[in-house]
Amino acid sequence: MSDLFRVENLSKSFGGLAVSREISLSMGAGERLALIGPNGAGKTTFVNLVTGQIKPSAGRVVLNGEDVTGLGAVRRVRKGLVRTFQVTRLFSELTPEEHVTLTLLQREGKASRIFSRFRGNSAVADEAHDILGALGLHEVARRKVGQIAYGQQRLLEIAIALALKPKVLLLDEPAAGVPSADTPRIEQALERLPPSLAVLMIEHDMDLVFRFAKRVVVLAAGEIIFEGLPSEVAADPKVREAYLGNYANARSVA
Amino acid sequence: MQMTAQAGTVSAAPRAKRLWWRDVVGIALIAACGAAGYWLFPDNLALLTRIVAVALLVLSIDLIVGYCGVATLGQAALFGAGAYAAGIACVNGVTEPMTLIAIGAVAGAVAGLVMGAIMLRAHGLAQLVLSIAIVQLFHEAANKASAYTGGSDGLAGLMVSPLFGIFEFDLWGKTAYLMGLALLLLVFIALKFVVASPFGMLCRGIKQDPLRIRAMGAFVFPVLLKMFVISGAVAGMGGALAAISTQVVGLDSVSFELSANALVMLVLGGLGTLYGALIGTVIFMGFEHMVSAINPFHWMTMVGALLIAVVIAAPGGLSSLFERFSASRGGKA
């Protein structure tokens, strides 16, 4: 197979509790895939397994034909497997510009230099400027992250991920917690992601999922119960059961 | 675009420039205070030199605690490594003062490498306990190796050559103080560059969220270890300065007590600014000196009371008062 990214029989159990059961899926370059499922289905665990934050009990993660299962989180990022976080993990005392600059310096292998100025690299400064501009973060580029709107923080998460020039991007609920007035801005950012990038998005907002994804995977109780077109997902009996069984989360699917 | 931004788009661009000027003024102020001390207290230069040496130790703690978020109660291990290395070199015939400072820096850096490699295996409280264990081990090693260190009697009889072959280390401690002050200024300026480098920014990121830094593709351990080495070099220079100026190295220079006091000085002055380290050291040691002269029996009580007052009135340390002051001024302007 010439898949860019492949997960084979990925499993994880904590003690006796299986949170991921034999998950297999693959993605090609430029693919847009949505991973949905009720709360507690193991979606974030899946992202953690794929990016190396936690070690799987069994299974493989393959990127570009290379088995990366044995690599730590940092090496996977360097190979192009990049994620964003469901709850933003940003440095509240630093500015968006500093976040992106630091990320770019890291990508260039210059982040641990002592004998250079943080802002001394003009190529990096220009690239940071472009990345922040493309996501509409220009005006707040030099304000502390703790003082900018939450929607802007979500965009900054995406900016940091893009600064790493990923091959595969895992977006963990990019629109979660964003006021509805600001979601179009997030959606616009998602539309403008590089065409060759393979994107897996976890999201609860089904409107966003339908507009964004060409393929949908549904996870319930750690297992894939559906894989197919967005137009088919709502009619699938197993999916309906999974969501209705978890009544509180029945909201947008139905 | 409908992002709900709270404040206007003011005060964005000039920030970096203003900070740069503030550092120039700050460093000039340190030099001025140091010179003032020289003229105002000519009889207390030994104490002032001791303050400079301890200030280097407190600066070294700020690098680890204030910039990396790693708590330590064992930093005197690095200070003592520098002091004993310089002392042992001196009694064995290496008497050139700048060479001794360099020896102290190297010994401190090596000790920092060892200490970091051990401490960074643990996190949180376990890490703090490890730091105490390490300083106790260093203390015990210095005590037992009395053939080299003089044990509990201390290593005495350091005869240091004149600085640059010209300036004798006089009885009043003028040469030692001025050398220490120059060293402190140079180290301070160098550290300002270190914390403003990409490496410094990486450390600040690690302090806030190591997981985020890893997700950016950067390893955490080597960065922190590097900071331990730098910190060790700074503490080691402080130790060497103390050895040169007092011509004796005692077991107290590798003690838990010194480590803890130095951490208290840092908290008193404020973490993560470098200025706080200097302010805290001067206030703590100056206050200690005055109060112990007034009341030799109850001076510790007074120091305790001062600490409580500062922590309640200025939880961010004394240096945060300047920040608050300049912020309120800036607001009006």
Q: What confidence score (pLDDT) does residue A245 get?
A: 60
Count of domains in chain B?
A: 1
Handedness of CA B137, B143, B149, B153 (dihedral sign): positive
The number of residues making up chain A comes to 254
DSSP state letters, B132-187: HHHHHHHHHHHHH-HHHH-GGG-EE---PPPBTTTB---TT-HHHHHHHHHHHHHH
Nearest-Cα distance to chain B for A23, in Å, is 23
Q: How far apart are CA B51 and CA B270, in angstroms?
A: 17
- A87 shares contact with chain B (CB less than 8 Å): no
Residues A175-215 have pLDDT tens digits of 888 888 888 888 888 988 999 999 999 988 888 888 889 99
- A125 shares contact with chain B (CB less than 8 Å): no
- B5–A139 C-beta distance less than 8 A: yes
- In chain B, which residues have their Cβ closer than 8 Å to the Cβ of A78? 217
- In chain A, which residues have their Cβ closer than 8 Å to the Cβ of B5? 139-140, 148-149, 152
Nearest to A139 among B2, B9, B205 (CB): B9
Q: What confidence score (pLDDT) does residue B332 get?
A: 40
Q: What confidence score (pLDDT) does residue B13 get?
A: 43
Mutation for A interface: B9, B17, B192, B197, most A CBs within 10 A: B197
Which residues have a Cβ under 8 Å from the Cβ of B140 and sit 6 or more positions away?
Answer: none
Considering the domain boundaries, does residue B318 fall inside one? no
Q: What confidence score (pLDDT) does residue A111 get?
A: 87
Q: What confidence score (pLDDT) does residue A223 get?
A: 87
- B1 shares contact with chain A (CB less than 8 Å): yes
Residue B180 CA, chain-centre distance (Å), reads: 13
Can you tell me the ipTM of this complex?
A: 0.86
Decide if pLDDT at A112 tops 80: yes
Handedness of CA A20, A25, A31, A36 (dihedral sign): negative
> At B272, phi and psi to the nearest 5?
75, 25
Q: Which residues of chain B have pLDDT under 50?
A: 1-14, 331-333
Q: What confidence score (pLDDT) does residue B160 get?
A: 76
Residues A119-145 have pLDDT tens digits of 888 889 999 999 999 888 888 999 999
- B216 shares contact with chain A (CB less than 8 Å): yes
- B233 shares contact with chain A (CB less than 8 Å): no
Class assignment of domain A5-91+166-249? Answer: alpha beta
Q: What confidence score (pLDDT) does residue B18 get?
A: 60
Q: What is the mean pLDDT of chain A?
A: 87
Return the residue of A nearest to B226 by Cα. A112
Considering the domain boundaries, does residue B320 fall inside one? no
Decide if pLDDT at A2 tops 90: no
Nearest to A164 among B200, B214, B217 (CB): B217
- B18 shares contact with chain A (CB less than 8 Å): no
Choose among B262, B211, B209: nearest CA to B63.
B262
Type of residue numbered A223 = E
Residues A67-102 have pLDDT tens digits of 998 888 899 999 999 999 988 899 988 999 999 999
What is the domain partition of chain A in residue ranges? 5-91+166-249
Nearest-Cα distance to chain B for A208, in Å, is 18
Return the residue of A nearest to B195 by Cα. A114
- B3–A151 C-beta distance less than 8 A: yes
Considering the domain boundaries, does residue B155 fall inside one? yes
Decide if pLDDT at A244 tops 70: no
- B109 shares contact with chain A (CB less than 8 Å): no
Considering the domain boundaries, does residue B76 fall inside one? yes
- A144 shares contact with chain B (CB less than 8 Å): no
Q: Which domain holds residue B184?
A: 26-254
Q: How far apart are CA B314 and CA A194, in angstroms?
A: 49
**Chain A stretch 21-50, residues whose beta carbon is closer than 8 A to a beta carbon of chain B:** none
Residues A20-70 have pLDDT tens digits of 888 899 999 889 999 988 888 888 889 999 999 888 888 999 998 889 988
Considering the domain boundaries, does residue B56 fall inside one? yes
- A149–B3 C-beta distance less than 8 A: yes
